Amino acid sequence: MWFLGLGLLALALKYFEVGMVATWSWWIVLSPFALAVAWWAWADSSGYTKRKVVEREELRKQARIDRQKNNMGMKTSNGQRPRR
């Protein structure tokens, strides 16, 4: 996502001819987009994206379980009783 943001910023600066970016080659200005594509290809093929999704789902699941235990007055996963 950082590469995409950097690419959009460089593209806007080049288009509006702001600062030293106006003198840069288009290859340099558009290179962050190529890096973003390479990053997304690697992240998808290596399973990085899927692992992050699973981690997020596990955190949400544990938070939901802890919230329900807290509402019932039971100990949560961190071993502490809820405060009253």
The Cα–Cα gap between 32 and 9 comes to 10
> What does each of the 84 residues of the chain score in pLDDT, given as a tens digit?
899 999 999 999 999 999 999 999 999 999 999 999 999 999 999 999 899 999 999 999 999 998 998 888 887 666 666 565
pTM for the model:
0.64
Nearest to 40 by CA among 52, 54, 57: 52
